[in-house]
Structure 1
Amino acid sequence: MSTDSADITWCICLGLLLQGLTLYYCSKNDRLNRWRFLLHISAFLWIAMVFLKRFYIDQILPPRDAISHEMWARHVAECLAHQDFDNLTHILGIGNRGYRLVLGAFYWLTDAPQTATYAVHASLAYWGLLSMVDLYSQHFRASRIPFVVIALSVFCPSALFWTVGNIKEGAALWGICMTTRFTYMYLSKRKRKIQFLTILGAGTIAFFRPQMAVLWIVGLAGGTIKKDVKPGMIVVSLVGVVVTFYLIQMVAPAVVDKIVKNGLLETAQEEYELRASIGNSAINFRNGVPTPFISGGILLLTRPWPNEVHNISSLFAGVETWFVFVILCYQWIRCPDRKMVLMHPLTMSLLGALFCFSFYFSFMYNMGLMVRQRLMVYPAILGLVAIPAFARVMKEDWMQRQAAEKKRNAVAQLHSVAAKKSESDSEVADVETSRQNARDRRSA
């Protein structure tokens, strides 16, 4: 497939926008500014990935979801152009329908090629991950940002692969990052003018993936309550949970009715048994039945295992998962004051989100789907890597300040001793001078 001027124009414009966004974050954060050259390279890489994914990878492995989204979005754009609103009634909804409706409106307004959709999702994902790095560095006030935080954020292979495409992952990841950023600012009492982005981000994740919104809201609210009971955040969290549950009922009313009738755990097990045979990469659990929370936690952090690798995509997913898991363990082993860092409200929020996702992923039935949807919990995993890394840098900064203070005290003490010795020598000289003067007067 060949490119045309519209593809190149959209990618150049969004590429320049990402470079400007990088300059903006670096200009207001000195610690981030130290990595500016690397961040500019990463921004270029995200746009370059658009061409690689659109015109090479997707031609070899056609994405079925993206093809379906594109077809329906073009249909929506055509209906909007001809003001044929009657044909849109069966498309109205949330989840996949909501995404196709928004994408169709975008096509209707801009007449953009599909490459523009790839570039928009790539830009949103890069923006969200960069904002999280900026947030961590501003919140913990370390003298520098560890390289591992930069590498696992804007250079994350799974984010580069899955968000660059005509699927919901890019926009959903951005929505999660914006919502999490506001929560951190609220916890640290550094409220800034991000309310609009917060509302837009929360609306995006709730509109495209309401089940993910519930998991994140419950997890993040746990950290808020851990610090102190703030009525505003509790009310917002409860309203968010109610709204997203209502949205889930719109997407899957039959499943919600089953949950009300049979209970959440039994319904989840039934859904897993029904769908476990879908596709060629079913997830198998010990004894054939997943264990709530435990199976999901293992699935999120360590799978696919080597014996579950069947193609190149699962190989890359397994290598990345194990690499991130080893880095996570390494950072917590080297973390100073682990108990204090663990009880930090931000850590508790991320652990709460990871705990909720562990239950959800316990009943995941397909490995390919799991690898893609694991990206929705990646901000929590990234935070659990970044927090102990920043804590260690802050400890090193404190030790350097203590060493510098001891050095200053030692130098000051040496100067004090020298001054006292000089003063003593001066007094002795004055006594000798007075004695000599007395002898001179007597001899005269």
Structure 2
Amino acid sequence: MDLLLGSAYWLLVVLLLLVLVDRTCRRMPAFSRWRQVLRFAALFWCCTAIFKKVYLDYIFPPGDAIWHEWVAREVAELLRAGDFAGAGEFFGFGNPAYRFLLGVFYALTGAPELVTYTVNGALAYWGILAMLQALCQHTGCKNLPAKVIVPGLFLPSALLWTTTNLKEGLVLWGICMMLQWTFPRSNKRGKIPRLLPLMGMIALGLLRPHIALIWIVAINLLATWRSKKIGLFVLTSAGALASLFLLKLAAPVLFEAATGEGVASTLGGRYEHLTTNSDLASSHFLDKDPTPILTGVLLILFRPWPWEVRQISEFLAGVEVWWLASLGLWSWVRVPNKLSHLKHPCIISMLVCLAMLGFFFSYMYNMGLVVRQRLMVFPAVWLLYSWPAIFYRPHLKRSVRLPKLNSRLRKPQSQLPLPASR
């Protein structure tokens, strides 16, 4: 029965993703020639969920996912029995919020865990599409290059960490939905698309309030700079205050210490405590004194360094991050007028976001945790890396000039000059 139900739900998720791809390609001309690639990527993400559940989880048992599943099933049983008060006791912020939402999902659908893997992966895929759409909106791109769309769609760490029973997929979706607040306003947008950024902010605020606060500040900066709308500034500022309130509820002890002793002192003390435990901390972080922001930015963009690799998982994580960094640096080296691009509001806001998240990452203590949570920074990093690749494409220089010439050649017959009379 579970196999039949899981197969039906899996096919439904695949169908919804394909509909999303077709709708995106119709609305965004930059995606049109990549329609088949986008369809293949959607199917590939859903198949990765099956591969993770059927094969990888038996080789590397997912401890966190097992606990999430057990608690969520307990919440679902309480909800089905009508014990809403008992189910509400499981609600909280961070991981408890994810388990409670997952329990509500199970109570409504009765789906097996494979469907959770697939839905989380589908949400992450949807988020990456929204991220690429934001890139097109801010650059005016009409034709995405392969070096922008392919790495984004097939990022190995995103495929592995979102197609599972963890909150990474929902967090990535929430961040990318919030980017829609920076789009130019359009009267053609319906009510549901306008609600998506708000839904993304709520999801991110419940799951990771501190990350929601950072992204809200960056998006507030960009949206206010572009639109100069006071109402949008007030809305996003209210979201930032709400994230602070949620952060206080999620980690009251840490919040009180941070407000009393300072954020840097609190995180530094926590870092020293955790790095003394070799069972929790990776050897890369033992006996290290982090430099706020700088250590975190280097950790996000470049680490693990080649000399820090000690196992195959670290090697694969290193190859991914070095590959992305090489693509980004090469694009920035080749693009002309670098200063004019660096002055763009989108670039400045993403740099601010990277710096704020770099401060948070400076006090990371485990390399596996870094690779997993680096997805929270991926939208900012990929927007920064991809920006110059949109503008520097020498093979399109001739085609850029063609529209002006073609506009003269495509005059209506009535506007053509009459032949001279003999």
Give the TM-score taking structure 1 as reference length.
Answer: 0.85
- Change in 2 beyond 3 A, CA 1:7/1:407: closer
CA shift, 1:144, in A, is 1.7
Map of 2:4 onto structure 1 = 5
Q: Distance in 1 between matches of 2:29 and 2:227?
A: 31
Q: Distance in 1 between matches of 2:307 and 2:6?
A: 41
Is the aligned partner of 1:99 residue 2:98? yes
Q: Distance in 1 between matches of 2:279 and 2:305?
A: 18
Map of 1:361 onto structure 2 = 361
Q: Distance in 2 between matches of 1:129 and 1:204?
A: 16
Is the aligned partner of 1:297 residue 2:297? yes
Instruction: List runs of 5+ in structure 2 lacking aligned partners.
Output: 409-419
Task: Look up the SS of the partner of 1:363 in the other structure.
Answer: coil
- Change in 2 beyond 3 A, CA 1:55/1:70: same
Map of 1:376 onto structure 2 = 376
Map of 1:348 onto structure 2 = 348
- Change in 2 beyond 3 A, CA 1:408/1:53: closer
CA shift, 1:275, in A, is 1.4
CA shift, 1:406, in A, is 8.7
Q: Note if contact 2:138-2:346 (Cα within 8 Å) is conserved in structure 1.
A: no
Structure 1 segment 280-291 matched on structure 2, within 5 A: 282=282, 284=284, 288-291=288-291
Structure 1 segment 55-70 matched on structure 2, within 5 A: 55-70=54-69
Q: Distance in 2 between matches of 1:360 and 1:266?
A: 12
Map of 2:23 onto structure 1 = 24
Q: Distance in 2 between matches of 1:233 and 1:42?
A: 34
Is the aligned partner of 1:155 residue 2:154? yes
CA shift, 1:114, in A, is 0.4
Q: Distance in 2 between matches of 1:182 and 1:381?
A: 18
Map of 1:418 onto structure 2 = none
Is the aligned partner of 1:181 residue 2:180? yes
Q: Note if contact 1:77-1:108 (Cα within 8 Å) is conserved in structure 2.
A: yes
Q: Distance in 1 between matches of 2:148 and 2:55?
A: 30
Map of 2:40 onto structure 1 = 41
CA shift, 1:135, in A, is 3.0
Q: Distance in 2 between matches of 1:59 and 1:351?
A: 40
Task: Look up the SS of the partner of 2:16 in the other structure.
Answer: helix
Give the TM-score taking structure 2 as reference length.
Answer: 0.90
- Change in 2 beyond 3 A, CA 1:400/1:85: closer
Q: Distance in 1 between matches of 2:392 and 2:186?
A: 23
Identity %: 36
Q: Distance in 2 between matches of 1:28 and 1:242?
A: 34
Aligned Cα root-mean-square deviation (Å):
2.5
Q: Note if contact 1:143-1:397 (Cα within 8 Å) is conserved in structure 2.
A: no
What amino acid is the match of 2:58? Q
Q: Distance in 2 between matches of 1:342 and 1:217?
A: 21
- Change in 2 beyond 3 A, CA 1:237/1:86: closer
Q: Note if contact 1:290-1:363 (Cα within 8 Å) is conserved in structure 2.
A: yes
CA shift, 1:248, in A, is 0.9
Task: Look up the SS of the partner of 1:119 in the other structure.
Answer: helix
Q: Note if contact 2:296-2:363 (Cα within 8 Å) is conserved in structure 1.
A: yes
- Change in 2 beyond 3 A, CA 1:79/1:299: same
Deviates more, 1:60-69 or 1:334-343: 334-343
Q: Note if contact 1:10-1:119 (Cα within 8 Å) is conserved in structure 2.
A: no
What amino acid is the match of 1:160? L
Q: Distance in 1 between matches of 2:121 and 2:406?
A: 50
Q: Note if contact 2:357-2:377 (Cα within 8 Å) is conserved in structure 1.
A: yes
CA shift, 1:285, in A, is 5.5
Q: Distance in 1 between matches of 2:252 and 2:403?
A: 64
CA shift, 1:265, in A, is 1.0
Q: Note if contact 1:152-1:382 (Cα within 8 Å) is conserved in structure 2.
A: no
Map of 1:123 onto structure 2 = 122
- Change in 2 beyond 3 A, CA 1:130/1:401: closer
| Rg (Cα) greater in structure | 1
Is the aligned partner of 1:385 residue 2:385? yes
Q: Distance in 1 between matches of 2:405 and 2:83?
A: 77
Q: Distance in 2 between matches of 1:89 and 1:25?
A: 38
Task: Look up the SS of the partner of 2:377 in the other structure.
Answer: helix
- Change in 2 beyond 3 A, CA 1:54/1:149: same
Deviates more, 1:357-366 or 1:339-348: 339-348
Map of 1:132 onto structure 2 = 131
- Change in 2 beyond 3 A, CA 1:230/1:405: closer
What amino acid is the match of 2:323? F
Once the two structures are superposed, residues 366-409 of structure 1 have per-residue CA deviations (whole angstroms, 9 ceiling, x without a partner) of 1111110000110111111221111224x875665458869999
Deviates more, 1:105-114 or 1:132-141: 132-141
- Change in 2 beyond 3 A, CA 1:81/1:343: same
Once the two structures are superposed, residues 38-69 of structure 1 have per-residue CA deviations (whole angstroms, 9 ceiling, x without a partner) of 11111111011011101111111111110010
Instruction: List runs of 5+ in structure 1 lacking aligned partners.
Output: 410-421, 427-444
What amino acid is the match of 1:382? W
Once the two structures are superposed, residues 185-232 of structure 1 have per-residue CA deviations (whole angstroms, 9 ceiling, x without a partner) of 1xx444633221111111111111111101111122233454575322
Q: Distance in 1 between matches of 2:278 and 2:71?
A: 24
What amino acid is the match of 2:53? R
What amino acid is the match of 2:150? A
Q: Distance in 1 between matches of 2:54 and 2:315?
A: 23
- Change in 2 beyond 3 A, CA 1:285/1:50: closer
Q: Note if contact 1:94-1:208 (Cα within 8 Å) is conserved in structure 2.
A: yes
Map of 2:320 onto structure 1 = 320
What amino acid is the match of 2:245? Y
Q: Distance in 2 between matches of 1:280 and 1:265?
A: 21
- Change in 2 beyond 3 A, CA 1:85/1:262: same
Q: Distance in 2 between matches of 1:274 and 1:408?
A: 68
Once the two structures are superposed, residues 284-336 of structure 1 have per-residue CA deviations (whole angstroms, 9 ceiling, x without a partner) of 46972100010000000001112322332222111000100111101111122
- Change in 2 beyond 3 A, CA 1:308/1:280: farther
Q: Note if contact 1:94-1:247 (Cα within 8 Å) is conserved in structure 2.
A: yes
Task: Look up the SS of the partner of 1:94 in the other structure.
Answer: coil
CA shift, 1:238, in A, is 2.0
